[in-house]
Structure 1
Amino acid sequence: MNTLIFRTVAPFLTALMILFSVFVLLRGHNEPGGGFIGGLIAASAFAIYGIAYGVAAVRRAIIVHPMSIAGAGLLLAVVSGLVSVFAGVPFMTGLWIYPSLFGVEVPLATVMSFDVGVYLVVVGAITSIALALEEREED
């Protein structure tokens, strides 16, 4: 399935899928979507890129090891839950802050940082699995 057309379309499709995965991540929590589904879409994009160009190209594209991405996501998700404990409310209670950026008040929540953590865990873990399977297939 490594045709010229597929190799030509794969980078554009990968970029579009990663952009869509970020959209799904950000619309998450209140509507269908969120970190898990967005992460699956992004991991699928890396899998398509890997099928077209090989495992080495994906590893160069993501720069860091996929399990490091998963570990960073897990750390972010845990810290998001612990923030509420340090604030004196039950674990995983959503907290909001409202910083002003360029004169615009932007609400930031621990709920969003938890979703980003889940996104990173899913992207890292599934991409790591996909790359390991693809490497085994190339041998």
Structure 2
Amino acid sequence: MNTLIFRTVAPFLTAVMVLFSIFVLLRGHNEPGGGFIGGLIAASALAIYGIAYGVQAVRRAIWFHPMSVAGFGLLLACLSGLLSIFFGVPFMTGLWIYPEIAGVEVPIATVMSFDIGVYLVVVGAITSIALALEEREDD
């Protein structure tokens, strides 16, 4: 499925899907969504781009190896949970800080960093699998 129309639409569709995945990630803290489903949407976007332009184009677009992305996400998710132990509360208890950025108080939580870690694990793992399958198909 390497038509001119698909190759023309794929970059725009990929960009919209990645933006939507970030929206779902950020929305998932209070509403349905979160890191897992957002990561699946982003991995699907990269798969569409890979179908249109090939595995090497996706590898150039994401800059890092997908398993490195997954490993960093796992580290971030684990550190988000372990941080609570250092504050003397039970494991995986949400902690908040309220820094002032540009005169606005912004709440930042370990819950969000955990969701971002899950997002990165899913994007990295699923993208790695999809790229490996597509490379085998090309052989």
The bucket for the TM-score relative to the shorter chain is over 0.9
* 1:3 shift after superposition: 0.1
Tell me by how many angstroms 1:52 deviates: 0.1
In structure 1, distance between residues paired with 2:107 and 2:5: 44
- 1:1-139 matches, within 5 Å, as 1-139=1-139
RMSD between superposed Cα atoms in Å: 0.3
Where does structure 1 differ by over 6 angstroms across 4 or more consecutive aligned residues?
Answer: none
The TM-score normalised by the length of structure 1 is 0.99
2: distance between equivalents of 1:101 and 1:30? 22
Q: Matched residues in 2 for 1:5 and 1:124: separation?
A: 28
Q: Distance in 2 between matches of 1:88 and 1:45?
A: 41
SS class of match (2:14): helix
1:138, 1:5 → 2: CA distance?
21
Question: Which residue identity is paired with 2:33?
Answer: G
In structure 2, C-alpha distance between the alignment counterparts of 1:131 and 1:97, rounded to whole Å: 38
Which secondary structure state, in structure 1, belongs to the residue aligned with residue 89 of structure 2? coil
Unaligned runs of 5+ in 2: none
* Displacement of 1:123: 0.1
Deviation for aligned residue 1:62: 0.3
Letter in 1 for 2:106: V
- 1:30 Cα deviation from its structure 2 partner: 1.3
Deviation string, structure 1 residues 49-108 (Cα, Å, up to 9, x no partner)? 000000000000001100000000000000000110001000000000000001100000
* TM-score where L is the length of structure 2: 0.99
